[in-house]
Chain A
């Protein structure tokens, strides 16, 4: 009897520990949620559609009647390069006219510490084809699909008036002449995703930066349509480098 008890104990006790006790240092596991907010500023002031009056670096006084754009290919890059990145490639449509488009919510983000957030402004070449995103067609973002244009979707439509309303501007960026003018936006920032919690990153787009750096953009020089002007598209792509900034990163 006693040997049987010892034998059982020899088998049972280790089993009991294995079943009942995991790694004591691990907490809950599972994904969290990342919310990215897109807010719009003009040199420190929140953008007011139609009613706001602003001045760009070229001295143009202008107001914005429409601001809408597409971002895509969101990545979280981990601190440990051996850990997998998080990716979500679906485009996010944002229009200032509709507050419901302010936030992109990404669920099932693996918990962990990430040190870089990146996304693409626009939709990169191979993905930017006609009909790929019907929602964007409904949103009025389709890019003409007749030669020399080759279809796809606008990256941005920023429209308004300047010079006391006597002139208009159409800052429309996209795959001009079938070329890819999308670009990556990247932030070296710590983003911690915790299981069952939501981490919110709020971004600012400074509208004036589209017209400032490194290329001074004067509406006088670009007072007509620019969709077919690859030189202007390149200029705006270059200016896009510092349009976005991180306003805050919070977790709750």
Chain B
């Protein structure tokens, strides 16, 4: 080989080596723009429904890791005392410790019962009246809310950017270390989409792993019958239809509900059907937490529904066969069935708890 050709070849090899060192591969902690692509995360949703796609915010291992830390971090509150998890506690299926209304960092009392975070990957509206259309939109609101975490976003972002760990976590999740509100809520939304409940007693029965007791069977039968008719609002494997309904709580709604979002009078008093999964753990019940027990809820639907304006037609039609209230046996059976929706695996899943040190 002639010398000029060898020189060219070595030169080309050297250039190739430099190119390989400078592009992708390896964690260059000192170079904020040198993070590799995050790793896609695939969830096991067996027994539920296929996960809806979120092309604007695909699930990644690093995104979920960041979101989990943010969810549990009181750094997102004005006085560093309150995180998302403060009002959405895993032990209560991510609802608020049995409180009717949540308490903000300044002692302010909320106006609606904190909804649980369960299977929200499949939800189509968020908050009781659906004022947010995506999980990302929902996550924007509590942080600056004066009666909740009371930290304006233009103060939250510098706090995160100055943190010793967050910039690198943002880098791993999003490719560079820039901290933005958009990235914060995307990460939190990614984490929340992983919070999946599918191992309740009912799920195991569906998989043939156990058999229901007789009360549970009767309760399930009643739940999915036209007499109980729970399934129309709380059906599918999600145990919610994710729709808005007026369920006859008050002749005059103190809370306008969906009307606040649409301005349509026929939406007054309508609220989103919550999931009944883990309902045993998420007392009190209804948008305003007015019912402390499931027995009270069952009593309401038995013979307590008010003939309110905008009452959902599902609750207007007579209950077969004779429009009679539930019997004591039916109430007990229904309760027994509702308790089968508690998922001990979900409540104890370490992947949903605070990240380790």
Binding site for B on A (CB under 8 A): 50-51, 65-66, 134, 137-138, 140, 142, 144-147, 149, 159-161, 165, 167-170, 223-225, 227-228
Contact = CB atoms under 8 A, between A and B. Distances in A.
B226 interface: yes
A146 B219 CA distance: 11
A145 B206 CA distance: 11
Contacts of A144: 224-225, 231, 235
A51 B262 CA distance: 14
B224 A146 contact: yes
5 residue pairs, one from A and one from B, having the closest CB atoms: A168-B316, A168-B313, A225-B226, A140-B241, A50-B266
Contacts of B220: 146
Given A51-B266, A144-B224, A225 B317 contact: yes
A159 B238 CA distance: 22
Contact of B236 (A138, A149, A165): A138
B127 interface: no
A37 B329 CA distance: 49
A223 B318 contact: yes
Interface string B198-241: 00000000000000000000001100111001011001111001
Interface string B229-268: 1011001111001110000000000000000000010100
Given A51-B266, A65-B313, A225-B317, A140 B243 contact: yes
Contacts of A66: 313
Contacts of A160: 313
Contacts, number: 73
Given A137-B49, A144-B225, A228-B226, A168 B317 contact: yes
A66 B318 CA distance: 18
B13 to A, nearest CB: 48
Contacts of A50: 264, 266
B320 interface: yes
Main secondary structure of the interface of B (DSSP, over half): loop
Nearest to B313: A168
B218 to A, nearest CB: 11
Contacts of B266: 50-51, 65
B317 A224 contact: yes
A225 B229 contact: yes
Contact of A170 (B50, B237, B241, B317): B317
Given A50-B264, A134-B49, A223-B318, A140 B236 contact: yes
A168 B50 CA distance: 34
B249 to A, nearest CB: 17
B237 A161 contact: no
A145 to B, nearest CB: 7
A137 B236 contact: yes
A145 B232 CA distance: 12
Nearest to A64: B313
Contacts of A227: 226
B161 interface: no
7 contacts: A134-B49, A144-B225, A161-B313, A168-B311, A170-B317, A224-B318, A225-B229
B99 interface: no
B224 A145 contact: yes
Residue of A51, A167, A225 with highest tally of chain B CB at under 10 A: A225
Given A140-B243, A146-B220, A225-B320, A168 B314 contact: yes
A33 to B, nearest CB: 23
A149 B229 CA distance: 13
Interface string B49-62: 11010000000000
Given A51-B266, A134-B49, A225-B226, A142 B235 contact: yes
Nearest to B243: A140
Contacts of B229: 225
A169 B317 contact: yes
B268 to A, nearest CB: 11
Contacts of A169: 313, 317
Contacts of A137: 49, 236-238
B300 to A, nearest CB: 18
A146 B221 contact: yes
Nearest to B47: A131
A134 B311 CA distance: 29
A142 B226 CA distance: 14
Contact of A161 (B235, B243, B316, B318): B316
Nearest to B315: A168
Nearest to B217: A146
A142 B231 CA distance: 9
Contacts of A225: 226, 229, 317, 320
B166 interface: no
